[in-house]
Amino acid sequence: MSITIAVPTALRQFTGGQSRVEVEATTAGEALDQLTAEYSELRRHLYSDQNTLRSFVNVYVNDEDIRHQSGPDTPLKQGDTLMIVPSIAGGSTTEAEVVAALPALSNEEIARYSRHLIMPEVGLKGQQRLKAASVLMIGTGGLGAPLGMYLAAAGVGRLGIVDFDVVDASNLQRQIIHGTKDIGRRKIDSARDRLSDINPHIDIETHETRLSSDNALALIRNYDIVVDGTDNFPTRYLVNDACVLSGKPNVYGSIFRFEGQASVFWAERGACYRCLYPEPPPPGLVPSCAEGGVLGVLPGIVGAIQANETIKIILGAPDTLVNRLLLFDAWQMKFRELKLRKDPNCPVCGEHATIKELIDYEEFCGLSPNQQPEPPKLIEITASELKRRLDRGDDIQVIDVREPHEYEIARLPGTTLIPLGQVVARMNEIDPARETIMHCKGGVRSAKAIEALQQAGFAGNLVNLKGGITAWSNEVDPSVPKY
């Protein structure tokens, strides 16, 4: 019978760009086998060496996780949709607190929040709850920018901001809390000024620090709600575990290219992030926004959803995203909702939890040097050295493993374009008798390409351009655009 498999953006490079693939199958496992038989490069991203689905890859039949059905043996019927949902490299007001004295609103605040006050779902008491509430925002980037602006405008009385980065020109395409004049400034300073301008009636607390296992619990305990605007897996798991241990709701959002996810992880009422993704993907498997890009308006949409859920929690609304995962595709302008369930075996929120304190999240995510197996030997060359060798006429072939649309933005002279997802299938186009320099934007994808070619048995000499085309622009030719 005909089954549709929905392929997420991060994996479409392995399906020739296809977002939907039709297969003939009677079970979920059979459908995935058909998919990976047609697109062999995809299999290692979905399955471990033991031929089991990776723990950071969830598979849904319609809106139900197969882990809560019959796993790979989950039966399919004509017209079903199988969705692959991989992880994509943020105490609230209780009824008892509501009874306590709420802060009064000044006449200026009543005028400011008048469109809230005339809504029965908010009203005077609801606006007072917003004023009494405190929210900790982790990050002031793509998600944190719209999130903070809407929470400030809504009148959330105390906003905490955690960030340690500075504003870069490449941020401005999506991080609307910052402006051109802020390039080079600390993000927390830029964000504080913007939020204070939006609403001078709120308190803004800045924490210029990297969230860590040493400071997370101390920071989080002083706020009612935590909103996760992070862009890396160690911090995402750290935020989740700290919220579970502190009993605080975690309003989650993540983005990649033109797809986003949002949920509310609240262990006291349902699933946490670990229930959805028990383990992170291996380092480098999921590209970051810096590598894969992100549509500028997407974090605005997902960040606004996070702000909406935060406000609903404060107001005591019944229908938050607890136990629901909202998927959004900005390119197709489609929303989809999937059910989440608390995992009784979850190590942090399950019935017999084993995680009682915060751990080393870099190590947990495989980023600790002491935890890593010895990586394959990687020979690198600097951009300056490559230029000297090309100028003296050395017999070198340069392979660009970026995507075609990146090649149009900027390129090195005389290079051959073979995108990373095609490099093994097209390795016959690379002359093993010549020294080969592999490059991408920053050196990460080209290193992956070298590893993939070596595993496929390519016999030639492969060298990675350290820093990629960005280093070439910095060290050799400033006329080559940086993106």
Active site residues: 289, 440
**Alpha helices, DSSP H, located in 257-373:** 273-276, 289-292, 298-315, 361-364
Rounded distance between C-alpha atoms, residue 130 and residue 157, angstroms: 6
Distance CA 453, CA 41 (A): 12
In eight-state DSSP terms, residue 346 is -
Beta carbons within 8 Å of 101's beta carbon, 6+ residues apart: none
Give the Å distances, CA to CA, from 225 to 90, 116, 137, 144, 312: 8, 21, 9, 14, 11
Distance of CA 251 to the CA centre of its chain: 14
Dihedral sign (CA 239, 286, 188, 208): positive
Burial 187-224 (b: 16+ CB within 10 A, else e): bbbbbbbbbeeebeebebbbbeeebebeebeebbeebb
Beta strand 134-138 pairing with 380-381: unpaired
Q: Which residue has the tokens 């935020």?
A: 239
The candidate with the shortest Cα–Cα distance to 461, out of 439, 433, 441, 482, is 433
Nearest-5° angle of CA 370, CA 372, CA 375? Answer: 125
Distance CA 204, CA 210 (A): 18
